[in-house]
Structure 1
Amino acid sequence: MKRIGRAAKGAITVGVFALALTGCSGGSPGASSDGPSGIVQIYTTSTPTQNERFEKAFEKAHSEIDLKITRGGPDLIPRVEAEMDSGSAGADIFISTSQQWFVDNEQNLLKGDYASDWPLWGIEGLVPAIGVNPHSYIVWNTNKFPNGFHSWDSLLAPETKGTLGFRDGIDVSMSGYLQYLEDQNGPDFLEKVAAQNPVFYPTTVPLTQAVGSGEVGVAMMSSPAPILELQAAGAPVDYWLAEDGFAVSFYSAILNNSKNQAAAKVVMDFYMSPEGQKAFNGGGYGGSPLDGIEGAIDVSKMQILDPKKITPEVIAKWGERFNTIFR
């Protein structure tokens, strides 16, 4: 795992793409005499609220470019790959937490003049991390537990037995999170959790929703969006986020198959600007690689998952351990 190397406020050089492209000729795809324009398609696993906030801020700053954002999950990867194989129009920009996909498809990504001092990368100089998504939350139903929880050990109280929720399924991020929990709490922590007879859910979204409905009283993993959405709807939920917690990154790249590369570069430039970071990660929806972003979660002390260290062998090991402990 790695920690973000914090950049000094204002130290990131932005506008590289936008400045370089203002002189594009009218004959170039996605360009006019005034610069890049047209439609940019973004396929992303980021949350609807983040996408809406970003689209609104971007189109206010660049009314000549129209964003079309498609949100999905694992289904987006085969869709992007099919478009690349056929050469058909589709995604110009792909955003995902799967760093390995970008590594495996490096030859299909557009190289650009990104700012060299950007603090967090999936592939240095090619795939920037544009947001950080913490997972190390404890979320509780305030009707069931009005005093809440403020440490991992507090989850082992007798009152949580049978009403503690956790995520099921072993993948790259879950393997990293289980390792984080053991590193923080000792090698027998997960066995102690198992003794609480936890209830399992396939992802953090239904897990967090189960807390809001009272189906379970407390969850030991979540992410910002489902918590904020439940609170906005008036659900009785509150949370604790470990300051030295665990998080994954949203990685982003322009695809070689993009039919509007000039405008896509302007979009990427905006994602990496302070204004774009505020739109994407502000409001408590994520952490930013940049310092001083208003409303972003402070992730400066968190362990950011390095997927390169979570090999298939590590995933297999955690799959076996998870089944031994919890089944």
Structure 2
Amino acid sequence: MEPFKVHILGCGSALPTLRHFPSAQVVEVRGKLFLMDCGEGTQIQLRRSRLRFTKISAVFISHLHGDHCFGLIGLLSTFGLLGRTAKLTVYSPAALATVMQQQMDTFCRDLEYEVDFIPVDTMVQQVVYEDRSLTVETIPLEHRVKCCGYLFREKPTLPHIRRDVADFYGIPVSQFDNIKAGADWTTAEGEVVANSRLTTPADAPRAYAYCSDTRYIPTLHERLKGVTTLYHESTYGEDNHLRAEKYFHSTAREAAMVARQAGVCQLLLGHYSSRYEDEQVLLREAQEIFPNSLLTDENKVFDV
């Protein structure tokens, strides 16, 4: 299967600590790289990850809180210093474009590439990006400011050719696309070889949902059907449940409830409050509800 990975660059929350960077991660899909949020230190973490700056084709910003976008202006400047010429598309709530344009006019006046800001409607779920193999949809979330997550879905692929059978019947490679599309094969002797003997089923499409800052939404799972891997913020444990409600955040237990209700394969926890020196307490609370819960950490890579 083609690579579909999540590279964690930062999984802390607003208050800086020595243990975690603010929110940022790279979604790698079939050789393409997409940056999810861009907190302070994202560039340093990109260097440590050994991911190529030049391969980032788009940036997705969930909301306009500093721990999710303070690193963006520095990244744009570095792209310029590296000689980038390819357009960079930034998907975000509409207000970011005005803020960033002011900064770019001051700090990035000589960029030799275009930065295209695409406003997203955080109130609706809709496709905002599409290419031959992938779609990206917004996921409406509920936070103190306009906020949305993003859902990456692979498009269905064609079946696989059974090379042993194809070689046995001497089928030329030039006919493989037709067979993948459903055609049978007729031998020189007139024998019809059914398509079902020539192919194996296509890989099931995978999907990754990035649910940034949000309070617990009882109906969120309805938007996540078919998701393979879910990242859901888990800022607090149950010991700070009232604080989570006050600041429109979620507990690890609530994140696990969403994962269980949505029927995902695995849950990634993140956006940890600086109050926790050991996130194991968050992991235990999540695993009581959804056993396949995992802690994110800087420089970890997860297969979707």
Shorter-chain TM-score above 0.5: no
Which protein is bigger by CA-based radius of gyration? 2
- Whose helix fraction is larger, Structure 1's or Structure 2's? 1
TM range, normalised to the smaller chain?
A: under 0.3
